[in-house]
Structures are given as structure tokens and as C-alpha cells.
């Protein structure tokens, strides 16, 4: 590569660098520069991994009007150093190919920072440690088996990318946190993409790092173990800025476990057949968006958090709650679809949150609202076909829908002026409902004349009325026409 140079004597601000062989020149300002009477070739350092270096030709000026037309080139020393540095960095990038039967660990040890290690299809029985920035790329889905001991891959360096592998057979020691890939503190900006995790205790354990990206992976735990003996699909602890996108997780203890991790994005993940789809605590300013969580004991469990955005998730068929909001503040829960769970929403000690435009359909209990959940805005939601729309245990009425109202499929009021809003408030529960919650066997008497009389009397005489969720602006039609579409 040839570089033509026509320097300005007045622009030099760095001291000269003595170079072997060609003498010195002086500019108008008295500054001294190295002088090359003829073109000079400089060779960048040779990479020990690739065995190559790049040559740079410093030639005389291209223009005949240059002050250096005598064939001399006056080159500032800082420019030479810059060229050498950049050329050296470029020369060090190399690619290493690992064939079936060879050692991935040996290729990693031989690689320099920034190199690419490509592993061809095959089966490799190794426990790997990546202690330098590099890319480990699988070709034709190579399998790395950890031999049922320790971590299959441990990442200790920042700027590591792992892509295109089947990671299998980690150890089963919960105390040692055995994982398919363990990303330890300081390994910032790690990327794990398009990998399958098979029979690993924890799929990924990620601790003490910033800006990791985990995307498009398939994670299956040790499904023959009981739930309490399994690890989690993805474990995030003490992280910043993680992006967890497009992963499929099943047969783990919890799908995604998050603790003390902030400014994260969880998008388009699919989680099923776990204890909790998400077990999430002490983490703030995160976004949960477009995830599908089904056939777990609990769907999304968000506890002791604030400033969350939970939107456009589909949570269905879970044997306890769809979304748990426990000790949560200043968060927005919107546009979610919650169907066929035992409890669509479980809300406990939640304050100053906004719940809007959610579809809560065909759950045994639409919303279980526990004590201390006050000052929340609940607007524009559809409550359709839930056996109990709201189970409320507070000591005074809680108003929902004060601004816009919500739709309740069991609302029996009327709309004489045709504005789409019921003329009488919706009251979610009464004294009879409270009795059935406290004494479940009481349900056997619900059709009896005595219980029907009690319900009528409690409605007519406020002194017998139980505290309830009250919506002063109940909608006559649902906001979402697609509410009856099952996932």
C-alpha cells in the first residue's frame, strides 16, 4: 500500500522520531523531521498466529508543486506510529480452523486477541475456558460435551462471541452453579447466539457483567431431575444492560431468573414447562416485551421492583398466576394477553402502577388483588369469562376505571344514552363472594333461596355490603375483538 505525503512544516506538533539511516530536515519554523531521500517501505509486525505482515510504502509527494519535490518526504513521527499501530492490529486478526478430532482448547490457546476460531461439525469432549477476546463459531452444529462435570464453557474475558454450537452435558452441582456457558464477572459484552443447550444444569449463568447479548438459543434443562434440583435456563445476577432476545427455554427450574440486574431488555422469548417462566427480583428499569409464557406453575413473577415496562406478552395455561406483581411501583403493564391461568393477575403490595389495555380471559380468577395495592390506574382492560372477575381482600372500595373504564363480561347494567358506558357502576364482588372465598364449601349453597336472598339484601342495604373493586364507567363492549382467540 503506497501513501503519498505532502506535509505542512507549520502543522507539526510532535517531536521527531529518529529513524535509522537517512538524516534530518528542517522546516520553516525550525522544527526537525526525519528525511527520506527515496520511498521507504515499512513492514508491520508479523502476527505469530497468521505468519503475515503488511507493507506500507511512504513515497514522495504526488503533486509536483509540493515543497518536497526534491524527492524528500518530511513525515511527522506521530503519523508513522499511527500507521504501525493500525497495521499491527490488522495483521493480528486471524482465523483458526478446528476439524473433527482436533482440540478446540488448543486452538483457543493458539489464538490471539480478536481472532476467529471456526469449529467444523463433529463431537468434541472438552471443558473450554475462553480467556481472551475472540469469536468461537460453530460450522454445521458441532457438539461440545462437558462430560457431566463442571461448566461446558467458561468465559473469563470481555468481548467474546459464541455462535452455532450444541452445548451439552454440564455437571449437576447446584452449589458450584454448573452451566452450559458460565459468563463470569468482568466478561463484558459477551454474545451467545444460535446455540442449543442440552442437558445442562444452568443453561447460562451470567454474573457481574455489562451489555451481554443472549439471542436465538434453545435451552433444555436436565428434565429427569425434580424441579428443585434443576438450574435455571438463564440466570442474570448483578448485570447492566443485558439483552435476552428470542430464546426458547423449557424443563428448567425457572426459565429466566433475574436478580439485581438493571436496564435490561427481555423480548420475544418463549418459556414453558418450568416452575416460573420468569423469577425476577430487585431489578429496575427493565422491559419485558412480546414473550410467550405457558404451561408453567407461574408465568411472570416480578417482585420488589420498580420502573418496569411489561407489554404485549402472551401468558396462558399456567397452573397458578399469569403475571405476579408483588411489591412493585411506578411500572406499566399494558397490552398483555392472559388466558386460562388459575389467576390471570396476582397483585400484592403494588402502588402507583398503570394497568391498561390488557385482555384477561377465561381464568379461574381474573385478578387476585391483595392488601396494600392502591393508587394504581386500571383503564381500558377487558375482563372476559373469568369464573371470578376480581378477588379482593381489602377493607374499603378500590376504584378502577375512573378515567376511561374497563369492560366486564358479567356486567348487568344498561346504557340508556348509547354512549357505550354503563349507567350504573360495576361492583366486582359482594358479601356472598366473600363468604365463598373464606368458606369454599359454601359454594354448594349458591343456588339456594337463602343465599340468593342474602345476595339481594346485601345489594339493597349498604351496611351489609362488602368492600369491592368498583368501576364507575363500565364499557358495554370489549376493547379487543380478538379476545376469544386462544393462543
Distance (Å, whole) CA 482 – CA 5: 69
Could you give the percent of the chain with pLDDT greater than 90? 66
Tell me the pLDDT tens digit for each residue of 387-435. 889 988 877 889 999 999 999 998 888 899 999 999 988 888 655 555 5
E-strand stretches of 121-184: 123-125, 128-130, 135-138, 143-145, 153-155, 161-163, 166-168, 179-183
**CB contact at 8 A, 213 and 234:** no
Cite the beta strand spans of 99-216 per DSSP E.
116-119, 123-125, 128-130, 135-138, 143-145, 153-155, 161-163, 166-168, 179-183, 191-193, 196-198, 202-207, 213-215
H or E element that contains 34: strand 32-36
Average confidence (pLDDT) over 454-472: 69
Contact 174, 205 (CB under 8 A): no
Instruction: Name 319's Cβ contacts closer than 8 Å, sequence gap at least 6.
Output: 296, 297, 298, 341, 342
> Confidence band (pLDDT; 50, 70, 90) for 33?
very low
- Rounded CA-CA distance 355/400 in Å is 10
230: its cell numbers:
434443576
97-126 pLDDT, tens per residue?
Answer: 999 999 999 999 999 999 999 999 999 999
Q: Cell 409464557 identifies what position?
A: 293
Three-state DSSP at 115 gives coil
* Percent of the chain whose predicted confidence (pLDDT) is above 70: 72
DSSP for 242-267 reads -EEES-EEESSSEEEEEES-BS-EEE
Specify whether the CB–CB gap between 218 and 248 falls below 8 A: yes
d(CA 193, CA 204): 12
Q: Give the per-residue pLDDT at 455.
A: 57
Judged on CB neighbours under 10 Å (0-12, 13-18, 19+), 134 is buried
For the chain, give the mean pLDDT. 83
Least confident of 71-85, 251-265, 321-335, 397-411: 71-85
122-131, 405-414, 445-454: least confident range: 445-454
- Cell 363468604, residue? 435
Report, as an integer, the average pLDDT of 363-370.
94
Q: What is the pLDDT of residues 303-318, one digit of tens each?
A: 999 999 999 999 999 9
pLDDT in the model for residue 462:
61
* Residue range 362-382: mean pLDDT, rounded: 94
439 contact partners, CB below 8 Å, separation of at least 6:
none
Taking 80 as the threshold, does the pLDDT of residue 127 lie above it? yes
The residue length of the chain stands at 487
Amino acid at each position: 500500500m503506497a501513501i503519498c505525503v505532502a506535509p505542512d512544516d507549520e502543522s507539526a506538533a510532535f517531536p521527531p522520531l529518529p529513524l535509522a539511516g537517512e538524516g534530518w530536515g528542517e522546516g520553516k519554523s525550525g522544527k526537525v523531521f526525519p528525511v527520506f531521500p527515496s520511498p521507504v517501505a515499512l513492514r508491520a509486525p508479523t502476527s505469530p498466529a497468521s505468519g503475515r505482515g503488511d507493507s506500507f510504502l511512504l513515497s514522495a509527494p504526488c503533486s509536483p508543486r509540493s515543497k518536497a519535490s526534491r524527492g524528500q518526504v518530511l513525515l511527522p513521527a506521530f503519523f508513522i506510529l499511527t500507521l504501525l499501530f493500525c497495521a499491527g492490529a490488522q495483521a493480528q486478526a486471524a482465523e483458526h480452523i478446528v476439524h473433527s478430532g482436533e482440540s478446540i482448547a488448543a486452538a483457543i490457546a493458539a489464538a490471539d486477541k480478536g481472532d476467529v476460531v471456526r469449529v467444523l461439525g463433529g463431537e468434541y469432549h472438552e471443558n473450554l475456558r475462553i480467556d481472551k477476546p475472540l469469536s468461537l463459531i460453530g460450522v454445521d452444529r458441532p457438539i461440545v460435551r462437558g462430560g457431566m462435570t463442571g461448566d461446558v464453557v467458561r468465559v473469563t474475558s470481555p468481548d467474546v462471541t459464541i455462535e452455532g454450537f450444541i452445548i451439552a452435558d454440564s455437571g449437576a452441582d447446584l452449589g458450584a452453579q454448573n452451566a452450559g456457558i458460565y459468563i463470569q464477572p468482568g466478561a463484558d459484552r459477551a454474545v451467545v447466539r444460535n446455540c442449543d443447550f442440552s442437558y445442562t444444569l444452568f443453561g447460562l449463568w451470567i454474573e457481574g457483567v455489562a451489555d451481554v447479548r443472549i439471542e436465538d438459543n434453545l435451552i433444555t434443562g436436565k428434565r429427569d431431575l425434580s424441579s428443585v434440583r434443576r438450574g435455571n435456563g438463564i440466570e442474570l445476577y448483578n448485570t447492566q444492560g443485558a439483552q435476552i432476545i428470542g430464546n426458547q427455554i423449557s424443563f428448567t427450574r425457572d426459565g429466566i431468573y433475574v436478580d439485581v440486574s438493571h436496564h435490561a431488555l427481555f423480548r420475544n422469548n418463549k418459556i414453558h414447562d418450568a416452575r416460573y417462566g420468569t423469577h425476577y427480583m430487585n431489578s429496575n428499569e427493565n422491559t419485558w416485551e412480546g414473550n410467550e409464557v405457558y404451561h408453567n406453575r407461574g408465568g411472570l413473577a416480578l417482585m420488589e421492583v420498580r420502573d418496569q415496562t411489561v407489554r404485549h406478552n402472551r401468558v396462558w395455561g399456567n397452573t397458578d398466576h399469569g403475571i405476579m406483581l408483588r411489591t412493585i411501583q411506578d411500572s406499566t403493564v399494558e397490552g398483555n394477553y392472559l388466558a386460562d391461568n388459575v389467576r390471570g393477575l396476582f397483585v400484592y403490595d403494588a402502588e402507583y402502577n398503570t394497568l391498561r389495555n390488557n385482555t384477561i380471559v377465561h381464568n379461574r380468577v381474573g385478578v387476585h388483588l391483595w392488601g396494600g395495592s392502591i393508587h394504581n390506574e386500571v383503564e381500558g382492560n377487558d375482563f372476559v369469562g373469568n369464573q371470578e372477575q376480581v378477588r379482593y381482600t381489602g377493607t374499603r372500595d378500590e376504584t378502577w376505571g375512573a378515567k376511561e373504564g374497563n369492560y366486564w363480561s358479567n356486567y348487568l347494567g344498561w346504557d340508556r344514552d348509547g354512549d357505550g358506558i354503563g349507567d350504573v357502576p360495576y361492583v366486582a364482588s359482594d358479601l356472598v363472594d366473600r363468604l365463598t372465598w373464606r368458606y369454599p364449601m359454601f359454594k354448594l349453597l349458591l343456588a339456594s333461596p337463602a343465599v340468593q336472598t342474602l345476595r339481594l339484601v346485601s345489594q339493597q342495604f349498604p351496611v351489609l355490603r362488602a368492600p369491592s373493586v368498583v368501576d364507575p364507567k363500565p364499557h358495554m363492549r370489549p376493547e379487543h375483538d380478538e379476545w376469544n382467540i386462544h393462543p
